[in-house]
Amino acid sequence: MNEPLADRECPDPPQAAECPQPPQIDWHPSEFADLYAEHSRAIFYLALRFLSDPQKAEDATHDVFLKAFRKMDQFRGEASWRTWLYRIAINHCRNLQQSWNERHMFSNADEAVWENAVAQSDSPFRLLETKELGERIQKALDALPDEYRLLLLLIADEQLSYEEVGTLTEQSADAVRGKLHRARKAFAILFKKTE
């Protein structure tokens, strides 16, 4: 794998011949605006449904993009912009959650709860009134373990592959598939309860 110029060991102070430093080219504000326009909805939606609070989600989205703006020079193109932004967002939301000491209804040890529950996760969700949809989805997501909630939100984004979701949640794509099965089932049970 090619080592990025920035990561090569350079003498201190660097000597131009040994360690060429390309001239700094600044990001044009309109390029950052394009990035925001393309990905802000996905990041805001993740923050909204993960944090369960519109105001906190607004603050988090602002902070995520500001952090991205500051760190744009660190983006190496190994992942897509979307994945990179999601990584910042997930870390940010998790930190916020920890600092608020939010309760966790189920730990990973409780996964069996969903495995043994009787529900048809493959059955379609029929809604007669879509205006309350957001509220019902939020209630169901709030009752899920954080890990399941995050998996469902990420996998719902068609731009992300199982591999990318696995990278973002620090597990293999196969593990993602396995957990998704339980996450879908759990969501179906909880969503039914919101009727």
Partner 1 sequence: MKQQKKFNSEQQQEHVSEQQLTHNTARDFASVEELLRYDASQTQTPAAIAQRLQKSSADLPRPARSWWQRLFQR
Instruction: Kindly list the residues in this chain that would bind partner 1 in the complex (CB under 8 A).
Output: 4-6, 22, 24-29, 32, 36, 40-42, 44-45, 48-49, 54, 58, 61-62, 65-66, 69-77, 121-122, 124-131, 133-134, 137, 152-153, 155-158, 183-184, 187-188, 191
Kindly tell me which of 77 and 101 has the beta carbon lying closer to partner 1. Answer: 77
Of 66, 119, 64, residue with least CA distance to 93: 64
Kindly tell me which of 105 and 133 has the beta carbon lying closer to partner 1. Answer: 133
Provide, rounded to whole angstroms, the least separation between the CB of residue 39 and partner 1. 10
Provide, rounded to whole angstroms, the least separation between the CB of residue 69 and partner 1. 5
Provide, rounded to whole angstroms, the least separation between the CB of residue 124 and partner 1. 5
Provide, rounded to whole angstroms, the least separation between the CB of residue 101 and partner 1. 26
Rounded Cα gap, residues 125 and 188, in angstroms: 8
Provide, rounded to whole angstroms, the least separation between the CB of residue 33 and partner 1. 8
Other Cβ atoms within 10 Å of 186 Cβ, number: 26
Kindly tell me which of 98 and 194 has the beta carbon lying closer to partner 1. Answer: 194
Rounded Cα gap, residues 193 and 117, in angstroms: 13
What's the token pair of residue 49? 């449904």
Kindly tell me which of 82 and 101 has the beta carbon lying closer to partner 1. Answer: 82
Rounded Cα gap, residues 186 and 45, in angstroms: 20
Q: Is the peptide bond before 22 cis (omega within 30 degrees of 0)?
A: no
Kindly tell me which of 28 and 101 has the beta carbon lying closer to partner 1. Answer: 28
Q: Which residues of 34-67 are buried (b: 16+ CB within 10 A; e: fewer)?
A: ebbeebeebbbebbbbbbbeeebbeebbebbbee
